Structure 1
Amino acid sequence: MTTRILHVLDHSLPLQSGYTFRTRAILRAQMGKGWDVRGVTGHRHGAPGPLEQVVDGLRFHRTPGEAATGNALLREWRDIAAHADAIEALVQRWRPDIIHAHSPVLNAIAAQRVARRHGIPLVYEIRAFWEDAAVGNGTGAQGSPRYWLTRQLETHAVRSADAVAVICEGLRSDLIARGIDARKIIVSPNGVDMDQFGAPVARDPALTTKLGLEGADVVGFIGSFYDYEGLDDLIAAMPRLVRARPRAKLLLVGGGPCEQALRDRATASPFADHILFVGRVPHERVEDYYAQVDVLAYPRKAMRLTDLVTPLKPLEAMAQGRLVAASSVGGHRELIEDGVTGTLFAPDDPAAIAAALADMFADRHFWEERRVAARAFVERERNWASNILRYEPVYQRLLASAAPDARAAAA
């Protein structure tokens, strides 16, 4: 009998984010194993569409109704209740064997209500601690009452789950420090779908001309524009970099909450003509923009979020055969070996960014060796085709443990 896995999600495709791309990779890989897989999203999905939707071959169910309004705490509890009702309805109709809830913690709380009621094993996957993500996004403050409460909810959700998955060692170590049994936690790191990103496309000369990048030393960032990404530091580094490398240009692809502030900062730069904003591009065109870039830069700021969480974008760049340069925060150090698979520089330091990039452009003899090493690392340790195997023994153990309970309930 085919194993059925219900993924409880914040949002999903057709929205595009690191969150949805990881979800897509997990679901597609699990379907490739022959498992029957579906997702259910909460009110935070926010995209128009039917209550049941197939996107890119994946089936998603939506929580009906609109997100609650009013007091933040009451609003979140109402959204949890609505999400739990949607999960309950799907569980009664579809009868999954495993419920796999993904952060933020609100999803875990909603899923736990249903899992307990039906005796279904629950896996809780943490991609980032919600309280730290709020600080990184500028919507929360570390040490505030809300921060403390969210942290307590997170710890409670982890203790209540049957198994816990995290995306990196930083999150695992933090949970162990909270007293969580290490045997309960697996690390399922961010990975790359090599079928999608494993065959780099050639640079499109017409796009190069359109962007004005002929003969340029191109530094690029492709992703979401959040404050913690440190793009303000990257823009501040451009005057020093251009003085060292007069043909240097910065290509920024994407958008997000900080986009206008970054555009204003770039306009005020003495080298504004060396900074190019493209905006968001369709996901199927992303590879064309990777092909325009010599060095992908990831200047994340130093904070709890970036120290604990590993990003996805550097892995995609490495899979594309692109050079990467990144700040030496903990999340990057888990992915990049300085001088072997990439270049690390001090965080929150535009001068350090400029120096690292200038050195890379000044000495190109190592570029091909670096690209090969980085791609080999992704193929060996961050390929979704192998990453998915980390879930299988957890699922099997939980299903084996649940079987006697199910037989007893039936009796």
Structure 2
Amino acid sequence: MRGLLMALGVLAVALSPIVGTVPARAAPDFDSAYVFESAYLANMAPGDTGTFSVFFQNTGALTWTLSTATQVNLATCRLDKVSCGVPPEHFSWNPGSWLSTTAYATQSKSDVVPGDSSSFFYQVKASTSTAPGTYRFNGDLVVAATGALIHPEGYYQEASVTGAPDQAPSDVQATIGDTNGVGGVNDVRVAFTAPARNKTTAYDVQRREGDCSAAPADTAFVKLATVTAQPGQTGTYIDLDRTNGTYCYQVRVPDPIRSSFVYSNQAAAVVTASTIGVVPTSTSAVMTQSGGIFTDRYYTGDKIDLVFSVAIKLAAASIRVADSDCGAPTSQAGPPAACMGTDSWTTSDVVCGVNASCVLSLDRKTLTIMLTAPPTQVAPGSVAGLQYPITIIEGHGITDANGTAWDLAGSADRVFGPVGQ
């Protein structure tokens, strides 16, 4: 008998750690029944947070009341489903909002009378190092004051983690230059580094007109192109020939699991020197040299400099001029003075390569015209010859790089002569 008692004692000691993890059953006045639960969490990525909810009905004789001896908690259980009221295997998923190390949550209602139901809510968060897989969270209701199980039902919910999603670049930059020789310094180069751990090689470059104050998903962002960049390598896109203004650029990457996008930082570019959309005008017209044949009229050997607001180009260029037979113009912007009675202007043509040499400066903003022969008269005026000051009334074959014609009427200065004026 002594030997038998000793053997039973040893067995009891051996079993005590296992039995100790199974809470006692609550008094019969406590009882519950599972009602329903929220959907499992699918397609979580490392770092994501999700919420579980489950509803239980009070089928006992006591009202469950918060902060009293009848408060009911949703306790944590281990994967064996019977070891409850202990830290679970996946305790690292606690984002800091669980009720305790041994309970997910308490009843959401302050009082749950017999026959009524209450929800229990709790959150789980996958750490950034969580491996892909399915993770189960077991639980059951217990009396908060004692930890006694009310009605074990083996409740559980699951969270599925996929691989980490592709990331958007974090170093997008936008710089301005002139890469194609058109329209001035107005080409925006967008550059970024593709995240090294990404699987995708496709990156959408987007632009929005205005500053970078809008949200990444703002519909004003338009897709310019999809750039291919290998992980860890640089991707670039050049947005050519922008007009003057402020632009915001960003890069987005599709997240097919969530049917959405992830976005990069935003980079602003302010274009101020573009000639695209800018109408060329003359800002200065000065006679710099007299040919010496006549000092009171425009004739062979005379030279003028026309300065423009933008770079220009010439194609069979010519100007038509009118003199001051009817009086001097009222301003450097013209037009010629109005004629009275039978008075009239003398008008003549100056044609590059025919009766004039025409040379552009290196920046193509200054046009030097020197008469190599007398201007070709179109209509005689009240006085023979072209009397100073001279007003340019037409321009042909003088445009900006995009073919926009010289706006004479909008020019600040189109009157020249004599020398120095």
Task: Please give the TM-score of this superposition, normalised by the length of structure 1.
Answer: 0.21
- Hey, which of these two has a bigger chunk of strand by percent? 2
TM-score normalised by the chain length of structure 2: 0.21
Q: Greater helix share, 1 or 2?
A: 1
